[in-house]
Structure 1
Amino acid sequence: MADGRMTAAAFLVAELRRARTRRGWSQDELAKTVNYSASMVSAVELGQQPPTAKYLELVDRALDTGGLFGRMLTELVSLDKAQVWLRGWRTILSEARAIRWYECRYVPGLFQTEAYARAVFEAGDLLDQDEVERRLAERMDTQVCLHGDRVLKVVVVLDEVVLRRCVGSRKTMSEQALHLARIATEHPHVRLHLVPASAGEYPGLGGPFILVSEPEETELAVVSGQGRGEQLQQPAELRRLQQVWEVSLAAALPSQESIELLREIAESWN
């Protein structure tokens, strides 16, 4: 949503999901019918992968829609200036000058160790092993943006509780806390702040979000939950999240104290 209204691209994605569920099919069942992988169907329905004309032709045939989705692609989506799949997370990272990331659930993906990320994807056995491996490889590959020639400035505010909840094993948590401390100490363009549990209630607990500063002084926000992400660019929405960011940052410890707390947390998991 570039201006608070649903774009044609987002509408197409939503209608693809609705059409499949109305038929009573799972993503796996649709994938088998159109001869694509289930991960491809999932990526399209999450707005992470652009549906090709061929894909939509097969979906139209499978769901007997009379070519509806193909026509939506050629006649409506092509008019969009902000197609959801053209503004995927990796694209945003590749263009961003700086990001401010608040998290109260998990360690941000850019800073997850491989063991921690694997535990996240394997939780509850909801994903088959091939999908776990695909997502894990993608997450690790995304972290390259922190080490390239292009300068990406990152400020993270992370709730301490995230590192007190065991994800994977105690060893995984200890290594993850030390990894964060190492990045915060050694990376010249990353600042990390922990909000201590003693801070009590503060606005950030309403949910995670990322504020992205783009070229030409433009900004957008990314909010996420349960595997879905939404991009916000309306001034009122951005102002509200910027205010939440400022209050949450004020509740956090300074950088050096945060690093010391990370090391204490790592030791507590040993």
Structure 2
Amino acid sequence: MTAGEGSNGDNQVEPDPDLRNFGEVLKASRKRAGLTQEQFGPKVGYSVQYVASVEQGRRHPSARFVSKAEEVLDAFGVIQIAAKQLTRRRGLASWFRQWAELEETAVALNTYECRSIPGLLQTEAYARAQIENVPPRPTAQEAEDRITLRLDRQKVLTRTPYTTFSFIIEQTVIERQTGGSEVTRDLIDHLLRCSELPNVDIQLMPTVSPEHAGTDGPFCVLESEEHQWWGYSEGQKAGQVISDPKAVSDFHQQYAKLRIQALNPANSTGLLMRLRGSL
């Protein structure tokens, strides 16, 4: 999952004009209904912080939030219309937007990646090298937008209540040394720090793996805050969010097999340290 991710970190992304407009419409509708943010949040099933972020144009509202807000505020379709005017976030591909929204409030997220380090685990230098390596080369502003958004998404790793993360990454992805040896050393150090988080498991798939359940390519499975499971598959310039229970079940079976075939977290840590030592 790389092309669609755009960018992220602790940096704040400038509010998109369309997000700002939606936030103003929501705020006006809430005030017309005589509700404070503290009163409105529980009625739609979202935190006060979530409501405030949406109203300030800093967060893209989920489809469920839009539907509940329209229902609770009896807004005569105004909120739904404003939602349709939303454009993709700067630095985030339109076909990745729905998955990014699900990711923001996920209960659990399992990721298998064989092409590059997952965006949630990338360093700024690695993200920059990856973005600038793939033609057509983006403009300086486009690259910054993608990097900023990709790093910003990483906040989900440490927010509370914790989301449970599992990552299975091919050893060859690290051995490729995208960006050079120095970038790779910093990347490995970052992966080791992430692996120490209580809610994050990182497993490496050895280069030699005669039995491998991931030969169809990378994918993710996610449990939403409504406890529904979703799948995601991405290819060249396209991504697909999958809700079909049978297809998601297939992903679950693949991931369960991959977890057995990959090195366990402790052995993966040992391999990461050896890879770093060889640089």
Is TM-score (shorter-chain normalized) higher than 0.5?
yes
2:41 is matched with none
CA distance in 2, matches of 1:221, 1:213: 9
Q: Which moved more, 1:129-138 or 1:201-210?
A: 201-210
Alignment check: 8 A CA contact 1:102 1:210 kept: yes
| 1:191-220 superposed Cα distances (whole Å, 9 cap, x missing partner) | 111111121351213211110011232100
Alignment check: 8 A CA contact 1:175 1:266 kept: no
CA distance in 2, matches of 1:223, 1:105: 13
Trace 1:122-133 onto structure 2 (pairs within 5 A): 122-126=132-136, 127-133=138-144
Identity of aligned residues (%): 30
Alignment check: 8 A CA contact 2:113 2:218 kept: yes
1:247 aligns with 2:257: yes
CA distance in 2, matches of 1:89, 1:268: 36
Which of 225, 242, 251 does residue 232 from structure 1 map onto? 242
CA distance in 1, matches of 2:198, 2:122: 18
Shift in CA distance, 85/124, structure 1 to aligned 2, threshold 3 Å? closer
| 1:111-146 superposed Cα distances (whole Å, 9 cap, x missing partner) | 001100000110145211111111000001111111
CA distance in 2, matches of 1:160, 1:86: 25
Trace 1:176-255 onto structure 2 (pairs within 5 A): 176-184=187-195, 186-255=196-265
Q: Which of the two has greater helix per residue?
A: 1
Which of 162, 172, 177 does residue 161 from structure 1 map onto? 172
1:172 aligns with 2:183: yes
What displacement does 1:90 show? 2.9
State the TM-score, normalizing by the size of structure 1.
Answer: 0.66
What displacement does 1:249 show? 1.1
CA distance in 2, matches of 1:94, 1:150: 12
Q: Unaligned 5+ residue runs, structure 1?
A: 1-35, 37-48, 51-72, 79-83
What displacement does 1:227 show? 3.6
What displacement does 1:86 show? 10
SS in 2 for 1:210: strand
1:115 aligns with 2:121: no
Q: Unaligned 5+ residue runs, structure 2?
A: 1-16, 18-59, 62-79, 86-93
CA distance in 1, matches of 2:243, 2:122: 27
1:134 is matched with 145
> What amino acid does structure 1 have at the position aligned with 2:241?
Q
SS in 2 for 1:236: helix
> What amino acid does structure 1 have at the position aligned with 2:157?
L
Which of 263, 269, 272 does residue 262 from structure 1 map onto? 272
State the TM-score, normalizing by the size of structure 2.
Answer: 0.64
CA distance in 2, matches of 1:171, 1:85: 33
Shift in CA distance, 164/200, structure 1 to aligned 2, threshold 3 Å? farther
SS in 2 for 1:206: coil
> What amino acid does structure 2 have at the position aligned with 1:157?
I
1:88 aligns with 2:98: yes
Q: Runs (4+) of structure 1 moved beyond 3 Å? A: 84-87
> What amino acid does structure 2 have at the position aligned with 1:235?
P
Alignment check: 8 A CA contact 1:95 1:215 kept: yes
> What amino acid does structure 2 have at the position aligned with 1:243?
Q
Matched pairs, number: 192
